[in-house]
Amino acid sequence: MPLVFTTSYIEDSRALFAQYKNLADRAIAQVSDEQLFAVLSPEANSIAIIVKHLAGNMISRWTDFLTSDGEKPPRHRDQEFENPPATRAELLALWESAWTALSSALDPLTAADLNRTITIRGEAHSVMQAINRQVAHYSMHTGQIILLAKHFAGPSWQTLSIARGASAEFNRKVAAGHASQR
Protein backbone atom coordinates (compact mmCIF):
# COMPACT_ATOMS: atom_id res chain seq x y z
CA MET A 1 0.00 0.00 0.00
CA PRO A 2 1.66 3.26 -1.03
CA LEU A 3 1.79 5.86 1.69
CA VAL A 4 -0.93 8.44 1.42
CA PHE A 5 -0.77 10.83 4.32
CA THR A 6 -4.09 11.15 6.06
CA THR A 7 -5.29 12.03 9.50
CA SER A 8 -8.51 10.12 9.00
CA TYR A 9 -8.74 6.91 10.99
CA ILE A 10 -11.68 5.78 8.88
CA GLU A 11 -9.82 6.35 5.59
CA ASP A 12 -6.82 4.48 6.97
CA SER A 13 -9.06 1.61 8.10
CA ARG A 14 -10.70 1.38 4.68
CA ALA A 15 -7.25 1.30 3.07
CA LEU A 16 -6.06 -1.46 5.41
CA PHE A 17 -9.14 -3.60 4.78
CA ALA A 18 -8.68 -3.07 1.03
CA GLN A 19 -5.02 -4.03 1.29
CA TYR A 20 -5.80 -7.28 3.12
CA LYS A 21 -8.58 -8.14 0.68
CA ASN A 22 -6.25 -7.48 -2.24
CA LEU A 23 -3.54 -9.71 -0.76
CA ALA A 24 -6.01 -12.52 -0.11
CA ASP A 25 -7.55 -12.17 -3.58
CA ARG A 26 -4.13 -12.32 -5.24
CA ALA A 27 -3.14 -15.37 -3.19
CA ILE A 28 -6.42 -17.19 -3.89
CA ALA A 29 -6.00 -16.51 -7.61
CA GLN A 30 -2.73 -18.46 -7.60
CA VAL A 31 -4.18 -21.79 -6.47
CA SER A 32 -6.22 -24.36 -8.33
CA ASP A 33 -9.79 -25.13 -7.41
CA GLU A 34 -8.62 -28.37 -5.82
CA GLN A 35 -6.01 -26.51 -3.74
CA LEU A 36 -8.65 -24.11 -2.40
CA PHE A 37 -10.20 -27.04 -0.57
CA ALA A 38 -7.02 -28.93 0.37
CA VAL A 39 -5.85 -29.23 3.98
CA LEU A 40 -2.35 -29.85 5.29
CA SER A 41 -3.58 -32.09 8.11
CA PRO A 42 -6.92 -33.36 9.47
CA GLU A 43 -7.17 -30.53 12.02
CA ALA A 44 -6.06 -27.79 9.61
CA ASN A 45 -8.28 -25.40 7.72
CA SER A 46 -8.35 -25.08 3.95
CA ILE A 47 -8.30 -21.73 2.21
CA ALA A 48 -12.00 -22.25 1.49
CA ILE A 49 -12.77 -22.79 5.19
CA ILE A 50 -10.83 -19.67 6.17
CA VAL A 51 -12.72 -17.67 3.55
CA LYS A 52 -16.05 -19.09 4.78
CA HIS A 53 -15.14 -18.20 8.38
CA LEU A 54 -14.08 -14.66 7.46
CA ALA A 55 -17.27 -14.20 5.46
CA GLY A 56 -19.42 -15.39 8.36
CA ASN A 57 -17.59 -13.05 10.70
CA MET A 58 -17.87 -10.06 8.36
CA ILE A 59 -21.54 -10.53 7.62
CA SER A 60 -22.30 -10.87 11.33
CA ARG A 61 -20.09 -8.01 12.48
CA TRP A 62 -20.86 -5.45 9.79
CA THR A 63 -24.59 -5.99 9.18
CA ASP A 64 -26.43 -3.36 11.24
CA PHE A 65 -23.02 -2.45 12.64
CA LEU A 66 -24.09 0.52 14.75
CA THR A 67 -27.44 -0.81 15.90
CA SER A 68 -27.19 -4.51 16.79
CA ASP A 69 -24.76 -6.86 18.46
CA GLY A 70 -21.94 -7.93 16.15
CA GLU A 71 -22.62 -11.57 16.92
CA LYS A 72 -25.94 -12.09 15.13
CA PRO A 73 -28.28 -14.93 16.18
CA PRO A 74 -28.26 -16.54 12.71
CA ARG A 75 -24.46 -16.90 12.81
CA HIS A 76 -23.22 -20.36 13.73
CA ARG A 77 -19.47 -19.85 14.03
CA ASP A 78 -18.61 -23.52 14.51
CA GLN A 79 -20.35 -24.36 11.22
CA GLU A 80 -18.07 -21.91 9.41
CA PHE A 81 -15.32 -24.52 9.84
CA GLU A 82 -17.32 -27.21 8.03
CA ASN A 83 -18.56 -27.77 4.50
CA PRO A 84 -17.37 -24.74 2.56
CA PRO A 85 -19.17 -23.76 -0.64
CA ALA A 86 -18.64 -26.47 -3.26
CA THR A 87 -17.09 -24.38 -6.02
CA ARG A 88 -14.68 -21.47 -6.42
CA ALA A 89 -17.50 -19.37 -7.90
CA GLU A 90 -19.76 -19.98 -4.89
CA LEU A 91 -16.90 -19.32 -2.47
CA LEU A 92 -15.93 -16.07 -4.18
CA ALA A 93 -19.56 -14.92 -4.29
CA LEU A 94 -19.76 -15.42 -0.51
CA TRP A 95 -16.41 -13.62 -0.10
CA GLU A 96 -17.55 -10.63 -2.15
CA SER A 97 -20.88 -10.39 -0.31
CA ALA A 98 -18.98 -10.26 2.98
CA TRP A 99 -16.71 -7.45 1.78
CA THR A 100 -19.79 -5.60 0.54
CA ALA A 101 -21.25 -5.82 4.06
CA LEU A 102 -18.04 -4.36 5.46
CA SER A 103 -17.96 -1.52 2.93
CA SER A 104 -21.64 -0.74 3.47
CA ALA A 105 -20.98 -0.32 7.18
CA LEU A 106 -17.75 1.67 6.91
CA ASP A 107 -18.68 4.01 4.08
CA PRO A 108 -21.22 6.13 5.98
CA LEU A 109 -19.08 6.43 9.14
CA THR A 110 -17.65 9.76 10.15
CA ALA A 111 -15.09 10.72 12.78
CA ALA A 112 -18.00 11.54 15.09
CA ASP A 113 -18.99 7.85 15.06
CA LEU A 114 -15.66 6.56 16.36
CA ASN A 115 -16.53 7.02 20.03
CA ARG A 116 -20.00 5.53 19.72
CA THR A 117 -20.59 2.31 21.62
CA ILE A 118 -21.43 -0.93 19.85
CA THR A 119 -21.53 -4.46 21.20
CA ILE A 120 -19.89 -7.68 20.13
CA ARG A 121 -21.11 -10.76 22.01
CA GLY A 122 -22.69 -8.45 24.57
CA GLU A 123 -19.39 -6.66 25.28
CA ALA A 124 -19.19 -2.91 24.75
CA HIS A 125 -16.67 -1.56 22.25
CA SER A 126 -16.12 1.86 20.79
CA VAL A 127 -16.52 1.87 17.01
CA MET A 128 -12.75 2.40 16.81
CA GLN A 129 -12.08 -0.63 19.02
CA ALA A 130 -14.43 -2.75 16.93
CA ILE A 131 -12.70 -1.71 13.72
CA ASN A 132 -9.27 -2.42 15.23
CA ARG A 133 -10.49 -5.83 16.35
CA GLN A 134 -11.60 -6.69 12.83
CA VAL A 135 -8.45 -5.36 11.15
CA ALA A 136 -6.38 -7.62 13.43
CA HIS A 137 -8.65 -10.62 12.83
CA TYR A 138 -8.69 -10.24 9.05
CA SER A 139 -4.95 -9.64 8.82
CA MET A 140 -4.27 -12.85 10.77
CA HIS A 141 -6.47 -14.93 8.49
CA THR A 142 -5.11 -13.21 5.37
CA GLY A 143 -1.66 -14.37 6.47
CA GLN A 144 -2.99 -17.91 6.77
CA ILE A 145 -4.49 -17.74 3.28
CA ILE A 146 -1.20 -16.45 1.87
CA LEU A 147 0.83 -19.14 3.63
CA LEU A 148 -1.41 -21.91 2.33
CA ALA A 149 -1.55 -20.46 -1.19
CA LYS A 150 2.22 -20.09 -1.30
CA HIS A 151 2.61 -23.67 -0.10
CA PHE A 152 0.22 -25.06 -2.70
CA ALA A 153 1.45 -22.87 -5.58
CA GLY A 154 5.03 -23.96 -4.95
CA PRO A 155 7.51 -22.75 -7.55
CA SER A 156 4.79 -21.04 -9.58
CA TRP A 157 4.08 -18.64 -6.67
CA GLN A 158 4.15 -14.98 -7.67
CA THR A 159 5.21 -12.84 -4.72
CA LEU A 160 2.70 -10.39 -3.31
CA SER A 161 5.38 -7.96 -2.18
CA ILE A 162 9.11 -7.51 -2.78
CA ALA A 163 10.69 -10.71 -4.08
CA ARG A 164 13.56 -12.31 -2.20
CA GLY A 165 16.83 -10.70 -3.14
CA ALA A 166 15.12 -7.69 -4.70
CA SER A 167 15.13 -5.31 -1.72
CA ALA A 168 18.19 -3.33 -2.83
CA GLU A 169 16.77 -2.78 -6.32
CA PHE A 170 13.39 -1.83 -4.87
CA ASN A 171 15.05 0.68 -2.52
CA ARG A 172 17.01 2.20 -5.44
CA LYS A 173 13.79 2.65 -7.42
CA VAL A 174 12.04 4.25 -4.47
CA ALA A 175 14.95 6.60 -3.87
CA ALA A 176 15.07 7.52 -7.58
CA GLY A 177 11.34 8.19 -7.55
CA HIS A 178 11.66 10.48 -4.54
CA ALA A 179 14.53 12.34 -6.14
CA SER A 180 12.56 12.92 -9.35
CA GLN A 181 9.63 14.34 -7.37
CA ARG A 182 11.74 17.13 -5.89
pLDDT (average), residues 79-99: 97
pLDDT value for 32? 98
pLDDT tens-place string over residues 32-63: 999 999 999 999 999 999 999 999 999 999 99
Residue 175: pLDDT band (50, 70, 90) is confident
Q: Is the pLDDT of residue 10 over 60?
A: yes
Mean pLDDT score across all residues of the chain: 93
| 3-class state of residue 148 by DSSP | helix
Q: Which fold has domain 9-180?
A: Four Helix Bundle (Hemerythrin (Met), subunit A) (1.20.120)
**So what's the pLDDT on residue 79?**
95
pLDDT in tens, 140-173: 999 999 999 999 999 999 999 988 888 888 777 7
pTM over 0.85: yes
CA end-to-end span of the chain: 22
Which has the higher per-residue pLDDT, 46 or 177? 46
- Buried residues in 40-70 as b, exposed as e (16+ CB within 10 A): eeeeebbbbbbbbbbbbbbbbbbbebeeeeb
Q: Do 138 and 19 meet the contact criterion of CB atoms below 8 Å apart?
A: no
Query: What is the reported pLDDT for 4?
Result: 56
